Chain A
Amino acid sequence: MTRSLSAHDIDMNPPDKLITQILENTPLSASDVEKISYIYNSANQRSSMFYGGLQDDKMQRAARRHYSIDGSMEINHNVLTGAVEFLTYIGGDAYTAPLVLKSNGTSQEYLRLFRDYQGTILGIANSSDVLLEKRLFDAWGNIISVTDGQGNKMAGLTVLDRGYTGHEHLESVGLIHMNGRLYDSRLHRFLQPDNNIQNINDTQNFNRYSYVLNNPLRYVDPSGETSQDCLECGGQSHGNDFQIGFGGSIHSLIMNWDEMGVKDWSNQNWDSFKKDWKSGTGYMSDQLKSANGWIDKNLRSLGKDLKKFFGKSDPETRKLSLRQFSDFQATNGWQNQGFQSGCLGVESNGQQELNIGYKKLNLDDLKGNFKVGINLSKSLEFIQAMDQVSGGKNKFLGKFGKFGGYLTSGLEITYNGVELYQGEISGYRFGYRTGGVIASFVVGAEVGGTFGGPYGFVAGAIVGGGFAVTESAFDIWLEQFTHSMNHFYNNMNLSISIYH
């Protein structure tokens, strides 16, 4: 389906339709360099790009690129030479994949992609771990340098034209195609206005041309329509939601224990602290001194065990990636933290791929069992609380109620953990819910310890309910409010356009 553009299209700001208009018919067209046109599929996604020439008729231009609908494959075709190149993203799409299979129909090679925390491709190596291309971008996506494995300067992105946050660079015209809109990294601006206001409380949202709230180190824009916090972007998390938010923080801490300097930091502070309290006379010093030996011995041992435990997962790609990463560090002297984070994300993707096919518990069954467990243990809690309220002192029920209390909280966390793993909730939501469970548990226990079990039960229920109601409010009310504001804002703009 070929689209013809009109002024109406421009006003409505359709995502990809504008590229032809801008490149061919406006002062921004760069028509001395290249003309680029697109055709779209029924889902309004770009399906083919026509480039490599200045001809008005796109069919006369030398090069075409075809995109698969799921984003896993691209085909480059030179109609003059007949050369065809197939790019298949493995373990994700162009924004997340750790691996690309590049083939010309007769021979093929695997390319390893090294991404930073935003998914920007900083390095490309072949399957023999030979570095083919090394890139450096500034925070806004401008290409600072591209070199080969020997450090020789290259003209531009050569092996793959995906780069900044995984997006496609249109180097001939100096733009980056961000799906929904075109982005000029030199201006730090999109060429088309934004139709959405993500957060009405942030004034940056009201600049319709700005890129990711003018904060490109924190956010990315995979769709070109909506910025996304980098706790949930790039090589860090795609394909493995564990790395998001609360769980991700713990995971990152463990995986980067040495590199982040946590060990050194804790050693230094721990030694200093020990010195202080050995010479000091404070209450806490005295308290902790008595337990010093125990903590020193067991906590360090626990840290080591945890690191050993999580650093030794079985999937082969994980080992490969770790080795590969350390080899790269050694041979190229790369100490870039972002690069390293990207590698960790790449490992996780690879790991999840390999895990497919293991004979494990069905996650939906597991969730179902958790749900039953939660309901049963809540019932135990309730029966026991009612027994106490009515003056009963059944010790048997008391023990069951206590067990029910522990089990409810534990199962709720595990249930949410499965939802996080399945991608049904975000890391933020998981962290929020886990915090709610722990807060409800601790408050209930403290109130119960002071005023008695039934009061503790009520206090815990109020805290837990408060968290749940707040979450519902966030889901329902805020979304409605934001939509209303978006409609109001767009209508206001439309009115202004008509008036002028």
Chain B
Amino acid sequence: MDLKVSSKSQFRVLRELILISTFYFCGMIFFYLKVEFGLFKILFLSTFVFYLIGFFLPVYILHANYLKNSHNILKVEENWADINGSITPGNDIEKVKIFATYQHFDGLVGVTALPYNDYYYYVELHLKEGKIIRMTSLLDYKLDKILQKHFKDVVFIEVVTPFPMIPNSK
């Protein structure tokens, strides 16, 4: 199975933000047309701050972080993976850590979820030789399921984090 960070894969993880943005800006256009300009300015600027802090910035930060740190291409088959031209058999993998929000593991999002909660997460492949390989959901938003399917004998550890940003790798 070939996975790649492409426009399509990025669109999939961004879809909720795109949906919210569309809804929000359509609402603002409605207000622009239907209320006095002074009121529109209040509504737009105050809600824009909310939109920026609550929706746009968290997704943007994670997206930029993942773009920088993610492996762009991954080929994964039954019990082996080709990561950037290097074949890694399942036996060489000590464990796989999945860093995601509680809602991602729970399978439910609900009231308190932000647009990144569902789809933004990353995984760490801990090799027996001590090397750590990081991959993100930009490859595919079902990356964790795909890995679990192909590496049935490997231990998967779920790590709950409210904001799954990849730390400094240096």
Contact = CB atoms under 8 A, between A and B. Distances in A.
A68 interface: no
Interface string B10-46: 0000000000100010000000001111110111011
A398 B64 contact: no
Contacts of B64: 287-288, 290-291, 294
Given A242-B41, A395-B108, A414 B67 contact: no
Contacts of A498: none
B163 interface: yes
A406 B68 contact: no
Interface string A460-493: 1000000000000000000000000000000000
B50 A402 contact: no
A398 B109 contact: yes
Nearest to A383: B111
A261 B39 CA distance: 27
B170 to A, nearest CB: 7
Contacts of B37: 313-315, 351, 355
B112 A445 contact: yes
Nearest to A399: B109
A30 interface: no
Interface string A393-413: 101011101101110011001
B103 A417 contact: no
A413 B50 contact: yes
Given A286-B68, A434-B49, A398 B43 contact: no
Contact of A361 (B35, B68, B163): B35
A144 to B, nearest CB: 35
Interface residues of A, number: 69
A456 B35 contact: no
A348 B117 contact: no
B110 A449 contact: no
Contact of A417 (B43, B54, B68, B170): B43
Interface in A309-366: 310, 313-315, 348, 351-352, 355, 358, 360-361, 363, 366
B170 A453 contact: no
A203 B38 CA distance: 38
A418 B111 CA distance: 25
Contacts of A385: 110-111
B41 A251 contact: yes
B107 interface: yes
7 contacts: A242-B41, A291-B67, A360-B36, A409-B50, A417-B46, A434-B46, A449-B160
Given A381-B111, A448-B111, 5 more contacts: A384-B111, A405-B112, A410-B47, A445-B114, A449-B102
